[in-house]
Amino acid sequence: MFKINRKKVNDKQTALQEISPEHREFLRKVKLRKTIILSTQLLILILFFVVWEVAGDLKLIDAFITSQPSRMVKTLINLYNEGSLFYHIGITCLETVIGFTIGTVFGIVIAIILWWSSFLAKVIEPYLVVLNSLPKIALGPVFIVWIGAGPASIIVMALTVSLVVTILEVLNGFLSVDQEKIKLVKTFGANRLQILTKVVLPASFPTMISSLKINVGLSWVGVIVGEFLVSKGGLGYLIVYGGQVFQLDLVMASVLVLAIAAALMYQGVVYLEKLLVRDNSQK
Amino acid sequence: MGNIVELKNIGMIYHSLNGEIIALENINLSVEEGEFVSIVGPSGCGKSTLLSLISGLLKPTFGEVLINGKEVNGTSNEVGYMLQKDHLFDWRTIYENVILGLEITGTLNAGTKEKVLKLLDTYGLYEFKDKYPSQLSGGMRQRAALIRTLATDPKILLLDEAFSALDYQTRLAVNEDIYSIIKKENKTAILVTHDIAESISMADRVVVLTKRPGTIKNIHEIKLTCKKRTPLCSREAPEFRHYFNQIWKELDVHV
Ligand SMILES: Nc1ncnc2c1ncn2[C@@H]1O[C@H](COP(=O)(O)OP(=O)(O)O)[C@@H](O)[C@H]1O
Ligand SMILES: [Mg+2]
């Protein structure tokens, strides 16, 4: 580990010695620009919260309705002291992860089946199109009646939201694999399974990862709506409960936590993508 | 030396919703072992179809294709196919790309692995074996694609406009390169191209096809006075122009 790192640093240093002053100036400017962009972004965020806080203190806005950063923090601390903050965050995150994992896996498996049998794909196509345009949220009450008002319904909700999109996206990816690449393995006598494993799956790997990215977002929608309906625990429950008892501090604090959790999970998938998809076009 | 490939009264019809397309009609052609045959013809005249028939990817509507006297029925290890682009998989290293055919035919073992490494070594790709295709030049990629084809040890090589994706300079070099490899490995080769000069420079015979439905218009025995027959040297032979003009006229190119 350390050795590799050291070597990289050395490479960079030798590279630095070779570059011209003009190029160094260019690099400096690029870096400067990056720093300015980042600090502006941070500034906007800080300004937003400061203005919100001050406006509340000066009674420019009604903090009872709009809440206030300091009140949100207080609410979070209270929740934490009660021991329920991470309970709710945990439930929601777990439901989301399970939902999008199952949605992605099932979606890919079904896409493989449909790729395998173009007859089945043709038969099912209109149904998929209708299901895709149906707002899956409408099925929420159905799931609750069938499966019960608990996490299982919420997970089913989340996976329903992402499943059809995954099937369509991934199948599309499979079908757009270069026919000449398939011809190539056919010249070696490849059977359908070999065409799938040697060409179609690896070639569509980036498509699958990008559908994973879309699914994370969709699963959050499914989970939060599910929690609205089931109302037993999780961030969605806190939001809906806070709204009902007119505790906007709780609502806003939960939304804030939700935003952070969703962003972190998305970054996690982006990181996973970096790990899995080798960037062979580099170097 | 006997005929390794025989095409007898081949006809090929494609069916589509827009109707039938007669791609090939009444093709009779024999290729001797070790021979290098080029096929030229206007685009859409059925050249790729002809190669697909020889490789067993397609079955002819009429007539029969014989390889070593036996009727072709599906793909076999006897025939190696090189497509227009190298189609190296960018998720595989060069070595992993080259053994693709062996993996698919289930013939990957210590012996064949060693043979592949030897091929890579002989043709100057050994040190690139763990690199990815994007790290290689166009010429090297084409060579890797040829080694991938040679790995399964086919007797016959089919090259479908295998060089047309390369720029002119690289193409001349790759012609030279691939030609010498094919000769050294003692393969029979059938090259489809729309480049008249390329077809003459590499082949013992040039087959000229008519436009669709493709039939054989003429077959030229290429006899050039060269010290040693290589594509570049062929291009300088005095007879080269003569063949070029004749084939050019037969192709009847209009713009
Ligand atoms: N799978 C197919 N279905 C219908 N028509 C085809 C098919 N493949 C090729 N053709 C038609 O057959 C003719 C010959 O095609 P091809 O062998 O690819 O020509 P070439 O390689 O000489 O350009 C073309 O007109 C093409 O449109
Ligand atoms: Mg063609």
* Band (B171; pLDDT cuts 50, 70, 90): confident
Q: Which pLDDT tens digit goes with each residue over A243-253?
A: 999 999 999 99
- Shortest distance between the Cα of B37 and any Cα of chain A, in A, equals 20
* Band (B251; pLDDT cuts 50, 70, 90): confident
**Distance separating alpha carbons of residues B31 and B252, to the nearest angstrom:** 26
Q: Given this model, what pLDDT does residue A18 score?
A: 73
CB pairs under 8 A, 24+ apart, for A208-212?
A208/A104, A208/A108, A208/A170, A208/A173, A209/A269, A209/A272, A209/A273, A209/A276, A209/A277, A210/A169, A210/A273, A211/A104, A211/A107, A211/A165, A211/A166, A211/A169, A211/A170, A211/A173, A212/A100, A212/A104, A212/A269, A212/A272, A212/A273
Q: Nearest Cα to A95, choosing from A157, A146, A166, A167? A: A157
Q: Nearest Cα to A153, choosing from A262, A239, A229, A261? A: A229
- Residue B252 has a CB neighbour count (10 Å cut-off) of 11
In this structure, what token pair is assigned to residue B228? 């040693």
- Whether residue A188 is predicted with pLDDT greater than 90 in this model: the reply is yes
Q: Given this model, what pLDDT does residue A20 score?
A: 87
- Residue A22 has a CB neighbour count (10 Å cut-off) of 8
* Band (A283; pLDDT cuts 50, 70, 90): very low
Strands B188-192, B156-160: parallel, antiparallel or unpaired by DSSP?
parallel
DSSP classification of residue B93: -
Q: Which pLDDT tens digit goes with each residue over B201-227?
A: 999 999 999 888 888 998 989 888 888
Q: Do A180 and B83 touch (CB under 8 A)?
A: yes
Q: Given this model, what pLDDT does residue A10 score?
A: 45
Q: Given this model, what pLDDT does residue A123 score?
A: 96
Distance B71 CA to ligand 1 centre (A): 23
Name the residue with the closest Cα to ligand 1, atom 10: B14
Q: Given this model, what pLDDT does residue B1 score?
A: 54
pTM to 2 decimal places: 0.84
The full DSSP string for B106-141 is: T--SHHHHHHHHHHHHHTT-GGGTTS-GGGS-HHHH
Q: Say which of B55, B132, B152 has its CB closest to residue A280.
A: B132
Mean pLDDT of A82-97: 93
Helices H / strands E in chain B, number of each: 9, 10
Of A150-164, B66-80, B140-154, B164-178, least confident by mean pLDDT is: B164-178
Please name the residue that has the structure tokens 């011809």: A183
* Band (A278; pLDDT cuts 50, 70, 90): low
Q: Nearest Cα to B7, choosing from B43, B37, B44, B41? A: B37
Q: Are B171 and B163 in contact (CB under 8 A)?
A: yes
DSSP classification of residue B164: T
**Within an 8 Å CB–CB cutoff, is residue B165 touching chain A?**
no
- Residues near ligand 1 with C-beta < 6 Å? B 14, 16, 21, 23, 41, 43-49, 212
Q: Given this model, what pLDDT does residue A213 score?
A: 87
**Distance separating alpha carbons of residues A134 and A128, to the nearest angstrom:** 10
Q: Do A202 and B55 touch (CB under 8 A)?
A: no
Q: What is the mean pLDDT of chain A?
A: 88
Q: Given this model, what pLDDT does residue B255 score?
A: 60
* Band (A15; pLDDT cuts 50, 70, 90): low
- Whether residue A112 is predicted with pLDDT greater than 80 in this model: the reply is yes
- Whether residue B71 is predicted with pLDDT greater than 70 in this model: the reply is yes
Q: Which residues contact A138 (CB under 8 A, 6 or more apart)?
A: none
Exposed/middle/buried for A86, CB within 10 Å: 0-12, 13-18, 19+? exposed
Q: Given this model, what pLDDT does residue A163 score?
A: 92
- Whether residue B105 is predicted with pLDDT greater than 90 in this model: the reply is yes
Q: Given this model, what pLDDT does residue B84 score?
A: 86
In this structure, what token pair is assigned to residue A209? 């990862």
Q: Given this model, what pLDDT does residue A1 score?
A: 36
What ipTM does this complex have? 0.88
Q: Are B33 and B93 in contact (CB under 8 A)?
A: no
**What proportions of chain A, in percent to the nearest 5, are helix, strand and coil?**
85, 0, 15
Q: What is the mean pLDDT of chain B?
A: 89
**Within an 8 Å CB–CB cutoff, is residue B135 touching chain A?**
yes
Q: Given this model, what pLDDT does residue A16 score?
A: 53
Distance B160 CA to ligand 2 centre (A): 7
Name the residue with the closest Cα to ligand 1, atom 16: B46
Mean pLDDT of B16-22: 90
In chain A, what are the domains?
2-61 (no CATH), 70-282 (1.10.3720.10)
* Band (A142; pLDDT cuts 50, 70, 90): very high
Backbone φ, ψ for residue A83 (5° rounding): 85, 10
* Band (B9; pLDDT cuts 50, 70, 90): very high
Q: Are A121 and A175 in contact (CB under 8 A)?
A: no
Q: Given this model, what pLDDT does residue A145 score?
A: 93
Q: Do A188 and B76 touch (CB under 8 A)?
A: no
- Whether residue A3 is predicted with pLDDT greater than 60 in this model: the reply is no
Does A231 or A198 have the greater pLDDT score? A198
- Shortest distance between the Cα of A181 and any Cα of chain B, in A, equals 6
